[in-house]
Amino acid sequence: MRPSQPFILFVPAGGIANASARTRVYAYLPFLKEYHYRWHVASYTYHKYDSPERKRNWLKKIWLELLPLRNLIAFIRADILFFQKRSFVPWMLRWGKRLKKRIIYDFDDAIYLKAPDSSTLSKPHVVETDEKFKSQLDMMLTYADLVLVSGDKLYRQASERAKSVRILPSVISEIAEIPSIPNATPVIGWVGAPENQHYLRKIEDVLVRLTDEYPNLEVWLITSQPMERPPRYRHKFIPWSLSREAEMIPRFTLGIAPLHDDAWCRAKMNFKAVIYMSYGVPAVVSPVGFPINEFEDGHSVLLARTKEDWYRYMKSLLADSSQRDLIATGGIDVVRRRFWAPARVAEFAAALRG
């Protein structure tokens, strides 16, 4: 007898360039067929038409113009409705319930709080509830048959209203086999969204000190747009794209991920560390957010608690290739076991089916 094939309508937070959508939806899709699922990704087309670098003929343009109709047909056909972050609208929830569809909701940030002001330089984020969105979020949590979150802080928040909550960390779909081969000249690298660049101000003095000590050292910032006020250390701005990220990160001597120790960051998944580790690059990161407790300090990552830690750890990695390889190898192992899509897809598939 042929296994049943549930049909899923995914309504992600964005296209494949969106980090939450990429690491919590798109990363799993190539592996879901073996679990007998069919799906449609609403509003944002999956891989084939999503790349802005791909030329589109008139047939593809018509296919894209039909997206709203295709989304509606998929909504009617779906057995499971999967929403991310702010991607839902009330009528979809109400009709989903009336039509007895399974509703799954996924979020990986403290979206019930107002996001930090990107102009903040070094001050911790002042916690303020996003009252405008909070009522919609409460409704979503109440309607959902299952809520997926990335860490324990979000689990506790969702559990106040949701009937069922599960922690499932964000994942990557590809992983390096061995430590990367860095650039000929030393590079400290950072990759992230423009609004997160202000976290780099936390260690600006340390980066100035290191670039003064190492005349050939560069700091590469891979992001969509540069800082409004340029940093004081020697740096190179590299416009972000998925292909450019894959090309440039393996050339880092080390990757960095500073965060503030505040309510917003403590609820985040420190996924930047996972990205560096997946490319075989040693990482120095703040001990904030999930899943810091699953990283092995000194083996798979270096956790910097003070500015002196940041200086000491980065300097030791710049000077010692054997330590870099040790940390990078440990990082690859952690990602393979905990944050690699094939290692988590069975859990994801089981959560979808319920």
pLDDT single digits (tens) 241-284: 999 999 999 999 999 999 998 888 888 888 999 999 999 999 99
Rounded to 5°, angle at Cα 222 from 220 and 223 = 140
Place 80 in a pLDDT band, splitting at 50, 70 and 90. Answer: very high
319 with 193, same domain: the answer is yes
Q: Is there a domain that residue 318 lies in?
A: yes
What pLDDT does residue 55 have? 58
> What are 135-155's pLDDT values in tens digits?
899 999 999 999 999 999 999
102 with 250, same domain: the answer is no
What pLDDT does residue 50 have? 46
What pLDDT does residue 117 have? 66
pLDDT greater than 90 at residue 78: yes
Average pLDDT over residues 46-75: 60
Tokens 């798109």 — which residue? 26
Q: Please state, in angstroms and rounded to a whole number, the distance separating the CA atoms of residues 252 and 176.
A: 14
Backbone angles phi, psi at 267, to 5 degrees: -90, -5
Average pLDDT over residues 103-114: 92
Backbone angles phi, psi at 189, to 5 degrees: -115, 150
Ranked by mean pLDDT, the top range of 105-119, 151-165, 281-295 is: 151-165
Q: Is there a domain that residue 114 lies in?
A: yes
Q: Is there a domain that residue 220 lies in?
A: yes
117 with 237, same domain: the answer is no
Name beta bridge partners: 102: 80
Q: Is there a domain that residue 19 lies in?
A: yes
> What are 216-249's pLDDT values in tens digits?
999 999 998 887 678 899 999 999 999 999 999 9
Number of domains making up the chain = 2
Report the interhelical angle of 271-278 vs 321-338 (nearest 10°): 110
Q: Please state, in angstroms and rounded to a whole number, the distance separating the CA atoms of residues 240 and 262.
A: 27
Average pLDDT, rounded, for the chain: 88
325 with 347, same domain: the answer is no
Q: Please state, in angstroms and rounded to a whole number, the distance separating the CA atoms of residues 291 and 300.
A: 13
Higher pLDDT pick, 193 / 117: 193
191 with 334, same domain: the answer is yes
Average pLDDT over residues 127-131: 81
Q: Is there a domain that residue 182 lies in?
A: no
101 with 217, same domain: the answer is no
| CATH number assigned to the domain comprising residue 327 | 3.40.50.2000
Place 208 in a pLDDT band, splitting at 50, 70 and 90. Answer: very high
Q: Is there a domain that residue 331 lies in?
A: yes
pLDDT greater than 80 at residue 104: yes
50 with 104, same domain: the answer is yes
25 with 148, same domain: the answer is yes
What pLDDT does residue 61 have? 59
What pLDDT does residue 19 have? 92
Place 319 in a pLDDT band, splitting at 50, 70 and 90. Answer: very high
pLDDT greater than 70 at residue 2: no
Q: Is there a domain that residue 176 lies in?
A: no
Q: Is there a domain that residue 43 lies in?
A: yes
141 with 256, same domain: the answer is no
296 with 159, same domain: the answer is no
Q: Please state, in angstroms and rounded to a whole number, the distance separating the CA atoms of residues 119 and 195.
A: 8
Expressed as residue numbers, the domain containing 227 is 187-338
35 with 81, same domain: the answer is yes
What pLDDT does residue 259 have? 93
167 with 222, same domain: the answer is no
Whole-structure pTM value: 0.88
List Cβ neighbours of 26 (8 Å cut-off, separation of 6 or more).
Answer: 12, 16, 41, 46, 47, 173
